[in-house]
Structure formats: C-alpha cells, structure tokens
C-alpha cells in the first residue's frame, strides 16, 4: 500500500506577540491561512523507518521534523507498528515562515496514521502535533484559523477570501529563535503600533473582503531593521499592485496578495528579475491534509 499526502504552506495574516511565558515560550495571537504551495509526501510500508528527500534542500536526520513526527507516532503506538519508507519532495523553502517543516510533520502524522491503520482521531493527532511544534497543529485543521497560546490553541474560521499570492524569499532565512530575540530587544514603547486588529482580520477573511484586509506581523519591525532586503521586497510588492504585502511567520519570506492571477504573475516576474531569489505564485485557499492511496 502507498499513501500520498500534499502538505500546504501557510501565511500569517495577523501575528501579535504578547509576551514571554514562564516556560520560555511566547504567547501570541495569529490568523493562519493555507496557501496552494505544496510539499509532496509518499508513504510505503517497509521494515525500517527511513526518509529520503528531493527538491529544495531540507534538514536531514533528526533535524527533519517529518522524521521526528514519524518516530514519535511509532513510539506512542508502543513500537508495534512496522516501519515506513517516506519520500519527501520539497517545494516550500525552509527558514521562510511558510510552515513547510510543520506541514510536513502534520502530513507524516496523517499519512502514517492511514498507512499503519492506527485509526487515531484528530484530538489524539493534535496532541502529538503540539509536542512537535507550535505551528504543527494548525495543519491538521487547515483552511483558516485563529491561533492563541503558542499558536496551538486553534479556532477554525470559515474563509471566503480569494486572492493570488506572490511569495518572495531572499537567499537568507531567519531562525525563529533569532527573530524572537530581536523582537524582545525592542522596548515596548518603541514597537510599531498595528493599525490592524485580530477581529478585523477575521472579519475580512470570513467575509472574503481583500479590500478590507489589514495585515500585521510584529516580526516585521526587527526583520526589516536587520535585513533591509525584507523591506525592499515588501515595498516592491506594493509598487506592483499588491493589495497587501507582509512578512509571514518570523520570516524571511514576504508575501503579496493580488486580486487576480495575471497581476500576480506579472509582479512575480518583475520582482524575481530584480532580486533573483525564490519567487512563486500560488492561490490563497482552504487546503487541508487528505491522505490518498495509490
């Protein structure tokens, strides 16, 4: 038996960091939304648990979140399950804030749950996902959701938002730990005050109003201060007609939203010719993880 899963990228249409917690993590408020840029995973029964990867380079061995997810699931089923041969074809760049590693981890939980006939329900998978990373539980929900706590406390929202995204990633990534440290170093009275609100972004998403969408990301200020290229890409997107342009996650990818595909495609070609980095066009949509046999 072979099981296939496509793992979508995500963007953060709103991201506020509320403060550091006693356990070292930060409380935050965010609005996740899936994006039609996918990693492709294939699962096949095998004596051992192995992972091979192709496409965009990704972490190897224990640093790969997908393999860690597979081992966690195998261990929690008391080691009674067989192994699996996992094949990952990566299209979502790493270190970008697009959630590629988290999506792959969630896809591993879903794909192996089907391959090994575990019949674990969504709550059980969500508990495992939360152990792997703050963004991983969202990909078990998909579509759009409000995230609180570390991001793992989710409330799904129905999205009617239709847009085409231009995704630009410079040659460098921004490690999550570095991004939080940079944000923490900015005194509260010097941080950018957002015009956007969580409630306002949720209204725009549920009503499908790209015109009313006002995005915000607390990581934008420190990212643009330390990496001028991030600001250049964001401004470039706005100059090519993006209705919104923003850093996603902790970066370094910048995303512009356009009303139609032709405008997005023209903008991507223009901007990629100027900065010669990663550039893709993908639809914003309600994408969910669906394991399929064959």
Q: Is 274 a catalytic residue?
A: no
Q: CB–CB of 210/161 below 8 Å?
A: yes
Q: How many CA atoms lie within 13 A of 135 on its CB side?
A: 26
Pick the catalytic residue from 39, 90, 104, 135. Answer: 135
Catalytic annotation, pick one of 10, 90, 104, 218: 10
DSSP character string of the chain? -EEEEEEEEEEEEEEEEEEE-TTS-EEEEEEEEEEEEEEEEEEEEESSEEEEEEES----GGG-HHHHHHHHHHHHTTT-S-EEEEEEEE-SPSSSSS-HHHHHHHHHHHHHHHHTT----HHHHHHHHHHH-SSHHHHHH-SEEEEETTTTEEEEE-----EEEEEEE-S----HHHHHHHHHTS-GGGSPPPS--HHHHHHHHHHT-TTT---EETTHHHHHHH-HHHHHHHHHHHHTT-SEEEE-TTSS-EEEEESSHHHHHHHHHHHHHHH-SEEEEEEE-------EE-
Is residue 135 annotated as part of the catalytic site, yes or no? yes
Q: Which residues are catalytic?
A: 10, 135
């Amino acid at each position: 038996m072979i099981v296939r899963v496509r793992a979508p990228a995500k963007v953060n249409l709103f991201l506020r960091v509320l403060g550091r917690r006693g356990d070292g993590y930060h409380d935050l408020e965010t609005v996740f939304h899936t994006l039609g840029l996918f990693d492709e995973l294939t699962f096949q029964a095998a004596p051992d648990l192995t992972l091979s990867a192709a496409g965009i380079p990704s972490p190897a061995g224990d640093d790969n979140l997908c393999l860690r997810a597979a081992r966690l699931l195998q261990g929690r089923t008391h080691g009674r399950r067989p192994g699996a041969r996992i094949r990952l074809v990566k299209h979502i760049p790493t270190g970008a804030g697009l959630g590629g590693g988290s999506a792959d981890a969630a896809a591993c939980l879903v794909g192996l749950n089907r391959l090994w006939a575990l019949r674990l329900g969504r709550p059980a998978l969500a508990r495992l996902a939360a152990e792997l990373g703050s963004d991983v539980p969202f990909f078990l929900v998909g579509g759009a959701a409000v995230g609180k706590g570390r991001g793992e406390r989710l409330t799904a929202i129905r999205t009617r938002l239709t847009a085409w995204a231009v995704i630009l990633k410079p040659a460098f990534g921004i490690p999550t730990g570095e991004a939080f440290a940079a944000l923490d170093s900015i005194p509260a009275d010097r941080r950018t005050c957002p015009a956007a609100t969580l409630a306002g972004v949720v209204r725009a998403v549920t009503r499908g109003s790209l015109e009313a969408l006002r995005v915000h990301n607390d990581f934008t200020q420190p990212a643009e201060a330390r990496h001028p290229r991030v600001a250049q890409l964001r401004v470039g997107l706005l100059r090519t007609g993006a209705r919104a342009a923003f850093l996603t996650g902790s970066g370094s990818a910048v995303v512009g939203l356009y009303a139609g595909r032709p405008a997005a495609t023209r903008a991507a070609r223009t901007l990629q010719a100027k900065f010669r980095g990663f550039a893709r066009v993908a639809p914003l949509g309600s994408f969910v993880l669906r394991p399929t046999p064959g």
